[in-house]
Structures are given as structure tokens and as C-alpha cells.
Amino acid sequence: MRIRENRRRADHVGRFFIFMFAIGAFVAVSLVVLIRLGTAARAIGPAAEDLNPLEEFLLSTYLSAHAADLAAPAGTDAIPIMFTVQPGVSAAEVSTQLAALGLVRDARLLNFYLRYAGLDNHIEAGEFALNQTQTVPDIAAALTNVRERQVAARFFEGWRLEQIAAALSSYPSLNTSSQEFVTLAGPNVPHTGYTFSGDIPQGASLEGFLFPDTYLFRPGATTTDVIQTLLTNFESKLPASYRAQVAAHGLNLYQAITLASLIEREAIVDDERPLIASVIYNRLVIGQPLEIDATVQYAIATPDNWWPGVNGLDFRTIASDYNTYYITGLPRGPIANPGLASILAAASPADTNYLYYRARCDGSGRHNFAVTYEEHLANACP
């Protein structure tokens, strides 16, 4: 009997110690988990409230082990890359796409971070301007902030203002109107506050000053926002010495931009822009009509075709102060919005005696230049 009682007593003691050991182990593990979670929260931020403890523990452990990677950008290139998030796409798919673009190094790390922070279900659809210098938390914050969305709009060199207006309809996220753009950028609408505001003649449109470029707008940007952005960009691109440079050639700023617009419509190859500028200047000096086909196109354009063909037309009968076959000298204003290369060429023409140029017959977009009319005729295609 005593043996049985001793065994029973020993069993109770053993169970008690096992129970106490289990309690101690549980407390120890809990403390480790709490310490680890607290450390993780300090290193990677707080976890989402809807995470279960096990998922929080696993994600925080992984992210803590990769805390240095979270804080390290994918690269050093700060040039924005437009990234579009399609409606309904998953966080994992977005992470994979960003890794393919080189905006994050590890798609899984971004995906786990989005889940840990509770951002995986809050990614906004739309366009975002991201770059390699952003960290994983930076990328995650941008993708889930509607204010970070961007609309990338491209306006090309040589477009007239009506073409820019028409292009706005391609960006439904903007709060713009093509007709409103034509009106606000058109004649008799003053745009003050720019260094060139006084250079645009009274009653003239903004043609020539709507700088062609790729722009990033906030969703909901208005027509006025767009115009102001284009004008501000023009102002920032214009060299400080530009007025002095063109004045040395006898032109004011408005005339120089008008000349630049002619270069833009005539030149295809950049290194020919100063040569074409020289032909225009040489003709202006001797009073020879410029006879540039693009000015005829501008004069006879319609909303259905802003740059119509002119073959078979008698250019000299088209009465327009834009038609350089009908008038002598520059047209009354720009015929398009020139890019920076053409604007600079208008201030720095090549030093030549050329009076003519004709497109080469090889489809290269280059031109043959000539001093005499006979040479010009000899450059005609067979």
C-alpha cells in the first residue's frame, strides 16, 4: 500500500512539475514572441490589426531579418518611371511587375511588407510615378495613396495648340476640356506672371509657348493647371541669354519662337536644325520669301486635318499672313510648338550661304542644301 501511495504521490509531483514546466515554457515563448514583435514593430512598423498572431509572427520574423533590404532602394536612378496599376490586380502581381521594372529588388519582400502593414488590399488603381531611389516602404506608401497617383501626358514637338487640346481627351483622369483648352490658350486671353508674358503680342494665342514634353499631372488637374504647367516648363527651359542671342540676329523673342516653329516643322534630323535656321535667316536678310510649305498647311488646316497635303495647290494665291509664299518675312506668329532643339537653333544658326534645301530621295529625312537655284533644281529626285 505504501509503495502504491508513494508512486501516486510521485506521479502527482511529476505532473505538477511538467505542468509548471509547460507554463514556464509558454511564458518564455510568449515573452520571446512579444519581444520579437516589439522589436519588429520598431524596425518595420506596426502590423495590421487583422493579422492573426501566427501570421504576424511569421511575417515580422521574415521582415525583421530583411530590415536592411527594406531600407535599401533598388538603385540610384531618380528618373520617374510610370507604373500603371490595373483595377483588381493583386498585391503579389503588382510586386512581381515592379521587380521586373527594377523598382524593387525582391518581389516577395514587397508583397510580404504590404501584407504585414495591411496595405495589400488598399493598392490604388491608376498611374504612379516611381523611381529606383524609393525604398520598399516608400513604394508601398505611394501605391496606397490616391494623392500619389500621376497621369503621364505626352505632347509632341511640332504640334499646334489644337492637337494638344485634342490629346487631352485621351486622359479621362484629368478634369480638362479640349474646347476649353483651345479657348484659354487662344487669342485675347492674358497669361501674366511669366517672364515672357510681355513678349506675346496683344491678341495672339499661346501657340509656340506650350512646351512639348512628357508631363505628370495629378488626377483631376484642370485645363488651367495644364496650360500653366506647359508655360512654366517653357520658362524654365528658355536660356537666360536667349533674348540677347536672338537680338543679335535682329529678332525679338516672339519672332524667334516663330522662327523656331518653322524649323520644328521642317527639320527631322537634329543636326540639320541650325542649317535650316541659316537658310531662313539668309532669306530674311535679302528679303526673299521663305516659301515654307508648313506655313501653307497651317493657313489652310481644318479640324479634320491639321497638317493637310498641299500638292497641286497654287501657294501664292492663298491669302494668309501665315503663308510665306504669299508674304515676305516671318508669318505673323508661330505655326506650332517647337522643342528645345529648334528653339536653340533659332538663336544659333549655322554660318552658311545656303538659300535652299530639299528633302533627299533616300527616305532618311535629311536634306540637300544649296546656294543657287540651279543647284537646288539639281537636287530634285529623279
Instruction: Spell out the domain ranges in the chain.
Output: 68-148, 156-237, 250-378
Contact 264, 160 (CB under 8 A): no
What is the mean pLDDT of the segment spanning 213-237? 94
For residue 288, the model assigns a pLDDT of: 97
Backbone angles phi, psi at 356, to 5 degrees: -140, 155
More confident residue, 312 or 351: 351
Least confident of 13-22, 26-35, 85-94, 303-312: 26-35
Q: In angstroms, rounded to a whole number, what is the distance separating the alpha carbons of residues 335 and 340?
A: 16
- Band of the pLDDT at 11, cuts 50, 70, 90? low
What is the mean pLDDT of the segment spanning 52-67? 90
C-alpha cell at 270: 537634329
Q: In angstroms, rounded to a whole number, what is the distance separating the alpha carbons of residues 313 and 26?
A: 94
CATH of domain 68-148: 3.30.1490.480
CA trace torsion 352, 357, 360, 365 (10° rounding): 80
More confident residue, 340 or 173: 340
Instruction: Find the largest Cα–Cα distance for the chain.
Output: 135
Cα 296–Cα 297–Cα 303 angle in degrees, nearest 5: 140
pTM for the model stands at 0.71
pLDDT of 146 strictly over 80: no
What is the mean pLDDT of the segment spanning 114-133? 87
For residue 88, the model assigns a pLDDT of: 87
Chain mean pLDDT for the chain: 88
> Which residues does 94 contact at the CB level (< 8 Å), separation at least 6?
85, 123, 143
What is the mean pLDDT of the segment spanning 258-282? 97
pLDDT of 39 strictly over 60: no
What is the mean pLDDT of the segment spanning 58-72? 91
- Band of the pLDDT at 135, cuts 50, 70, 90? very high
Contact 175, 189 (CB under 8 A): no
What 3-state DSSP class applies to 7? Answer: helix
